[in-house]
Amino acid sequence: METEQTLVLIKPDGVQRGLIGEIVARYERKGLKLVGMKLLKLPLTTAEALYAVHRGKSFYDVLIQFMTSTPIVALAVEGQNAIELVRTLNGETDPRKSQPGSIRGDFSLNVTHNLVHASDSPENARRELGILFAPEELYEYHRADEGILHPTKE
């Protein structure tokens, strides 16, 4: 298993509904480590860079307006297979297709207001983390439970 870093955004609806702690706790309880975290109001240029792959699609303008409307929380999450784990914990983009127990399955209201964004590949994770975090904003440290969660091979 490979240790990866990935970006998670708690979208405006997650912040406004008071779900930051619940969402963060789910990643931490799974054994993922937060290596960066900040509350910010996403600038327009940053949102456009982050969602450039969707430019020209029917939902792009609504997405940009939503993501820049009120504060978000940006998380840099690290762990073995972090990208896949985070996406599983988040659930499907469409909450009607999300499993109960996933973040979106338990709390999401619709496709636009689906609480979280997560990188979908190692390449996008690196690109997106670079948009939201400067290198000095990402921290290396050891969690007390790492020996249990990620035992070294003998």
Residues annotated as catalytic are: 117
b/e per residue, 73-107, with b = 16+ CB within 10 A? Answer: bbbbbbbeebbebbbebbbbeebeebeeebbbbbb
* Positive or negative torsion for Cα 119, 120, 122, 127: negative
Q: In angstroms, rounded to a whole number, what is the distance separating the alpha carbons of residues 17 and 100?
A: 19
List of E strands, the chain: 3-10, 33-40, 72-80, 116-118
Conformation bin of residue 68: beta by default, left when phi > 0, alpha when psi is -120 to 50? alpha
CB 85 within 8 A of CB 43: no
